[in-house]
């Protein structure tokens, strides 16, 4: 992984994905505890959010994901969710309510399952099989979990320094923009690798 800039790009994409996810989950814990102190109410809220996420994800995968790739390309799968998350974090900074958070969280989770994750898997089609299976295991486990832990510490540090949810939301938006740029760069690199493999001329 460390010897390939392309695989390091995929690892960076996963790190930023995990960081955005961790920031949102911390906000989820804070807002749910604030608005739903009763444990049974919390269970119902989480159950409803999960139902909406899974429904949206499966419908998008069945009817939209393939069409998006064919008509708009891999770049949309890898950048749509990060861009929407950047806007969502800014929305949270301006209106830090549970309703806004619920929309942002549902969009992120459904979008990851239906768009970002399939796009990430497609990136590995442009690497040799041996590198794919070795590096993919490391990225999906060690890199993802390590990023999850580190971003949790970073989130705690930002909370301690800033002391205001809006600052955390802006930091999340910046992470999401970095995630979007990484996805865009990977989509272009994937296209170049495919053209080199097939001998096709570069597109304009």
155 burial level (CB within 10 Å; 0-12, 13-18, 19+):
buried
- CA–CA gap between residue 95 and residue 115 (Å, rounded): 27
CA-based end-to-end distance of the chain: 30
The pTM (predicted TM-score) of the whole model is: 0.89
Q: Which of 49, 77, 51 shows the shortest CA–CA distance to 180?
A: 77
Tokens linked to 108:
């992120």
Q: Mean pLDDT for each 10-residue chunk of the chain (204 residues)?
A: 93 95 86 86 91 96 94 96 96 91 94 95 90 88 93 82 79 95 97 83 52
Element (H, E) at 62: none
Where are the alpha helices (H) located in 139-164, listed in sequence order? 144-162
Pick the CATH number of 5-191 from 1.20.1250.20, 1.10.10.10, 2.60.120.620, 1.10.1740.10: 1.20.1250.20
Length in residues, the chain:
204
pLDDT at 28: 84
Other Cβ atoms closer than 10 A to 40 = 8
Q: Which of 95, 92, 69 shows the shortest CA–CA distance to 80?
A: 69
Cβ distance 13 to 135 under 8 Å?
no
Cβ distance 33 to 161 under 8 Å?
no
pLDDT at 161: 77
SS3 of residue 202 by DSSP: coil
């Amino acid at each position: 992984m460390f010897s390939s800039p392309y695989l390091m790009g995929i690892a960076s994409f996963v790190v930023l994905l995990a960081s955005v996810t961790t920031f949102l989950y911390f906000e989820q814990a804070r807002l749910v505890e604030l608005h739903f102190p009763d444990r049974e109410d919390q269970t119902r809220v989480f159950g409803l959010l999960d139902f909406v996420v899974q429904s949206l994800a499966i419908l998008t995968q069945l009817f939209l994901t393939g069409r998006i790739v064919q008509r708009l390309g891999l770049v949309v799968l890898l950048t749509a969710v990060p861009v929407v998350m950047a806007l969502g974090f800014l929305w949270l900074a301006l209106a830090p309510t549970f309703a806004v958070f619920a929309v942002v969280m549902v969009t992120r989770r459904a979008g990851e399952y239906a768009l970002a994750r399939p796009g990430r898997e497609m990136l590995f089609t442009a690497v040799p099989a041996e590198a794919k299976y070795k590096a993919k295991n490391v990225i999906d486990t060690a890199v993802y979990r390590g990023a999850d832990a580190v971003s949790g510490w970073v989130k705690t540090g930002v909370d301690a320094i800033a002391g205001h949810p809006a600052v955390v939301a802006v930091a999340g938006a910046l992470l999401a923009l970095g995630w979007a740029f990484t996805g865009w760069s990977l989509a272009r690199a994937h296209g170049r690798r495919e053209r080199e493999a097939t001998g096709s001329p570069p597109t304009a």
